[in-house]
């Protein structure tokens, strides 16, 4: 019974995945007047910059803004300011944290560096995550409902459909890294 | 022992099946959503005041400023519509007004550049996952 249900769900899921893939090649940057958000009758659609004009020249990606933002920053395609007035330096912290060590999905590598290039520690600590690896109870359901990692990923940063960008480390590799650290 | 193992396997299978459905829903739904990823609509007061709702484009601003400038230094909360922005505050130099003051960026008299959404568009992050999961497919595409 259970088996039948899960088999059905899996088949359904795979079918839908394939269907989604087939429609996946739609041009990504809609002109503002056709984006279903800006008022085509207003003056702004002729004055604002079109997303395609700015984004098509940046390192490409397959989802979200279709821009690999980490690379765009790293390679200097964009130089976003770090402060409005006095040039306070961003505090970059270069430590990866491995999450989801026990799950069935591959382990999640959380890169502090990619985040602290953009964000301040106070954007995450301690109201979203504790400052201790493994101390926060993180769950994929909460992420999908827009909490924890899903606060940004799913709204502004690369979207949650990119499973493997977070679930990027095999369990064997993760074990190796953790053993290396404890030695 | 064998039974337990089989149960665990089955559970794992069910879980993967469930997740693939979730992913599929997201992927299918994401084809519906037309506006640029990360665009925020702010409409606590605009409709009521007879102005078009405000569209804030993240893609445009993050090319010029790191997240921390707005979300740490200027104090924007991570919540669409959650900052209770109004024109008095903006003219006073808070929120958008910290930059849209004729120095860092063009100033407030360009009403239409900010107030640019279709009348009646509710406060939202246009492309959020939650929205896609909660809103039945097709709702975003209504005309």
Q: Which one of A36, A39, A140 has the shortest CB-CB distance to B116?
A: A39
pLDDT of residue A10 exceeding 50: no
For chain A, the first-to-last Cα distance in angstroms comes to 48
Q: Rounded to a whole number, what is the largest CA-CA distance in chain B?
A: 74
User: How far apart are the C-alpha atoms of A144 and B27, rounded to whole Å?
Assistant: 13
Q: What is the dihedral angle through the alpha carbons of A111, A116, A121, A123, rounded to the nearest 10 degrees?
A: -90
pLDDT of residue B137 exceeding 70: no
pLDDT band at residue B24 under the 50/70/90 scheme: low
Per-residue confidence (pLDDT) for residue A25, from 0 to 100: 45
Q: Name the β-bridge partners of A153.
A: A157
B35 Cβ under 8 Å from any chain A Cβ: yes
Q: At what angle do helices A2-22 and B2-30 cross, to 10 degrees?
A: 30
Q: Which one of B10, B24, B38 has the shortest CB-CB distance to A13?
A: B24
B15 Cβ under 8 Å from any chain A Cβ: yes
Spatial strand order in the sheet of B39-42: B54-57, B39-42, B124-125
pLDDT of residue B86 exceeding 60: yes
Domain ranges for chain A: 48-80
pLDDT band at residue B35 under the 50/70/90 scheme: confident
A129 Cβ under 8 Å from any chain B Cβ: no
Interface test with B, best of A16, A18, A39, A86 (most B CBs within 10 A): A39
Averaged pLDDT for residues A85-100 = 84
User: What angle is formed at CA A86 by the lines to CA A80 and CA A91, rounded to 5 degrees?
Assistant: 60
User: A122-144: per-residue pLDDT in tens?
Assistant: 999 999 999 999 999 999 999 99
Instruction: Show the tokens assigned to B24.
Output: 């599929």
Per-residue confidence (pLDDT) for residue B128, from 0 to 100: 59
Q: What is the secondary structure of A124-169 as a DSSP string? A: TTTTTS-SSTT-S---HHHHHTT-GGGGTBTTTBSPTT-HHHHEEE
User: How far apart are the C-alpha atoms of A127 and A161, rounded to whole Å?
Assistant: 25
Q: Which residue of A has its CA nearest to B140?
A: A36
Domain ranges for chain B: 1-32, 40-134
ipTM: 0.84
pLDDT of residue A22 exceeding 90: no
pLDDT band at residue A90 under the 50/70/90 scheme: confident
Instruction: Tell me which architecture the domain covering B40-134 has in CATH.
Output: Alpha-Beta Complex (3.90)
B7 Cβ under 8 Å from any chain A Cβ: no
pLDDT band at residue B119 under the 50/70/90 scheme: very high
Q: Which residue of A has its CA nearest to B141?
A: A36
For chain B, the first-to-last Cα distance in angstroms comes to 58
Averaged pLDDT for residues A40-68 = 95
pLDDT of residue B10 exceeding 80: no
Distances in whole angstroms, Cα of residue A141 to Cα of each of A79, A100, A146, B17, B42: 35, 13, 9, 15, 27
Q: Rounded to a whole number, what is the largest CA-CA distance in chain A?
A: 65
pLDDT band at residue B136 under the 50/70/90 scheme: very low
What share of residues in chain A are helix, strand, coil (percent, to 5)?
Answer: 40, 10, 50
Please identify among residues 3-42 of chain A the ones whose CB lies closer than 8 Å to any CB of chain B.
3, 5-7, 9-10, 12-17, 19-21, 23-24, 26, 29-30, 34-39, 42
Q: Which residue's entry shows tokens 């394939």?
A: A18
Averaged pLDDT for residues A79-96 = 85
B65 Cβ under 8 Å from any chain A Cβ: yes
Nearest to A116 by CA among A93, A138, A141: A93
Averaged pLDDT for residues A27-49 = 92
Q: Write the CB contacts of A169 (distance below 8 Å, at least 6 apart in sequence).
A: A98, A106, A107, A108, A109, A177
Q: Which one of A21, A42, A81 has the shortest CB-CB distance to B64?
A: A81
B25 Cβ under 8 Å from any chain A Cβ: yes
Interface contact flag, A10 B20, Cβ < 8 Å: yes
- Where does A18-176 show beta strands of DSSP type E? 96-99, 107-111, 167-169
Per-residue confidence (pLDDT) for residue A149, from 0 to 100: 97
pLDDT of residue A14 exceeding 50: no
Averaged pLDDT for residues B111-132 = 85
Q: Mean of the per-residue pLDDT values for chain B?
A: 81
Interface test with B, best of A32, A36, A105, A153 (most B CBs within 10 A): A36
């Amino acid at each position: 019974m259970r088996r039948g249900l899960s088999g059905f769900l899996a088949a359904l899921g795979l079918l839908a995945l394939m269907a989604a893939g087939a429609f996946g090649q739609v041009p990504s940057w809609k002109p503002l007047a056709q984006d279903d958000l800006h008022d085509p009758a207003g003056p702004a659609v002729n004055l604002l910059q079109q997303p395609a004009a700015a984004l098509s020249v940046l390192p490409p990606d397959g989802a979200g803004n279709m821009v690999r933002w980490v690379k765009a920053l790293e390679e200097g395609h964009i130089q976003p300011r770090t402060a409005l007035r006095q040039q306070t330096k961003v505090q970059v912290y270069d430590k990866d944290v491995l999450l989801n060590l026990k799950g069935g999905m591959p382990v999640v590598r959380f890169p502090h560096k990619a985040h602290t290039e953009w964000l301040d520690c106070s954007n995450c600590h301690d109201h979203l995550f504790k400052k201790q690896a493994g101390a926060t109870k993180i769950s994929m359901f909460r992420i999908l409902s827009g909490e924890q990692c899903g606060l940004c990923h799913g709204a502004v940063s690369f979207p949650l459909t990119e499973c493997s960008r977070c679930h990027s480390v095999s369990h064997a590799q993760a074990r190796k890294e953790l053993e290396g650290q404890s030695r | 022992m064998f039974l337990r193992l089989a149960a665990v396997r089955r559970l794992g299978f069910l879980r993967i099946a469930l997740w693939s459905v979730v992913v599929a829903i997201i992927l299918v739904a994401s084809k519906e959503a037309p506006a640029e990823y990360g665009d925020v609509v702010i409409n606590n007061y605009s409709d009521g005041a007879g102005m078009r709702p405000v569209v804030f484009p993240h893609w445009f601003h993050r090319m010029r400023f790191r997240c921390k400038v707005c979300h740490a230094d200027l104090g924007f909360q991570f919540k669409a519509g959650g900052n209770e922005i109004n024109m008095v505050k903006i003219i006073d130099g808070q929120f958008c007004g910290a930059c849209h003051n004729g120095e860092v960026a063009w100033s407030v008299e360009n009403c239409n550049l900010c107030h640019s959404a279709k009348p009646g568009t509710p406060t939202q992050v246009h492309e959020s996952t939650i929205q896609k999961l909660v809103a039945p497919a097709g709702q975003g595409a209504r005309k």
